[in-house]
């Protein structure tokens, strides 16, 4: 274990094995740091924050501060970060609003500089969130999604797994799994995240099937309910079923396709 002499660690903090803590960092009571975490200088980790094993937290990050939500009543709520996740400079993650609720980051995530997760955000495994991206309260991001720089995700909005938000996207509608938004667009997708699908090992056949399902959903002139019926009738695929289930679970509606009014 390596702890800089200027670091302040409250007696109620639980520090794992082989942890490094940098200069002028503050670790509050009721904080848990897993084994082999590396905490940089000038980091603030407040109570009810839990970090898994092998996490890295860079200079100036603030984890576990109270939510910017007028409904908050100083209840016991949490921030949890999974194993091997990296939080870069100036990242901020706020606790859940209500008693016992959690703002959660999964395993193997990368949150780049000055990105922000508001209260009750849920981030899956292997997610990349680029510099300056802002996720409002109760937003959800699926596994291996990519959130590009300066993107904005409205409260309660969901981003499906392996989706990609291009730079400067603002969305208040759900982004389907495997899809990609336009740069500097608002709540619209332009097609599949083909590069992401290739990197994830999706076969040519699977990608071709998703392209056909995308056309049926977005370019057949059907409304969403009608298109869902067709997807169920015409595609016997777990990937398309994932789309159908995602859409049916949507409370905000899904993004339109680029070019539609």
244-253 pLDDT per residue, tens: 999 999 999 9
Query: Domain locations in the chain?
Result: 2-138, 198-257
Say what the pTM is.
0.95
**Tokens 């500089």 — which residue?**
113
Residues with Cβ < 8 Å from 247, sequence gap 6 or more? 174, 176, 224, 228, 254
pLDDT attached to residue 121: 98
Burial 198-212 (b: 16+ CB within 10 A, else e): eeeebeeebeebbee
pLDDT at 260: 61
Q: How far apart are CA 45 and CA 65, in angstroms?
A: 8
Residue 1 has a pLDDT of 84
Q: Which residues of the chain have pLDDT under 70?
A: 260-261
- Condensed to tens digits (0 to 9), the pLDDT of residues 105-143 reads 999 999 999 999 999 999 999 999 999 999 999 999 999
The CATH number of the structural domain formed by 198-257 is 1.20.1180.10
CATH of 2-138, one of 3.20.20.70, 1.20.1070.10, 2.160.10.10, 2.120.10.30: 2.160.10.10
C-beta atoms surrounding 109 within 10 Å? 24
């Amino acid at each position: 274990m390596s702890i800089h002499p200027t670091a302040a660690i409250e007696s109620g903090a639980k520090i794992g094995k082989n942890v490094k803590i940098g200069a002028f960092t503050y670790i509050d009571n009721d904080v848990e740091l897993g084994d082999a975490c590396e905490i940089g200088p000038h980091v603030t980790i407040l109570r009810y924050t839990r970090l898994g094993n092998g996490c890295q937290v860079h200079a100036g990050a603030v984890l576990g501060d109270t939510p910017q939500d007028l409904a908050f009543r100083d209840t016991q709520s949490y921030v949890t970060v999974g194993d091997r996740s990296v939080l870069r400079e100036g990242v901020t993650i706020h606790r859940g609003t209500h008693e016992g609720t959690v703002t959660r980051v999964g395993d193997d995530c990368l949150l780049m500089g000055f990105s922000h997760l508001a209260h009750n955000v849920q981030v899956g495994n292997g997610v990349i969130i680029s510099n300056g991206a802002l996720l409002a309260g109760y937003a959800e991001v699926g596994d291996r999604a990519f959130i590009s720089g300066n993107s904005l995700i409205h409260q309660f909005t969901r981003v499906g797994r392996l989706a990609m938000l291009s730079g400067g996207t603002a969305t208040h509608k759900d982004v389907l799994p495997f899809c990609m938004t336009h740069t500097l667009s608002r709540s619209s997708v332009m097609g599949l995240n083909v590069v992401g699908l290739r990197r994830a090992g999706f076969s040519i056949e699977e990608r071709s099937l998703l392209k056909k399902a995308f056309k049926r959903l977005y370019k057949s002139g059907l409304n969403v309910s009608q298109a869902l019926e067709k997807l169920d009738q015409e595609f016997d695929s777990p990937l398309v079923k994932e789309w159908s289930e995602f859409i049916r679970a949507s409370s905000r509606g899904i993004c339109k396709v680029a070019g539609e009014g």
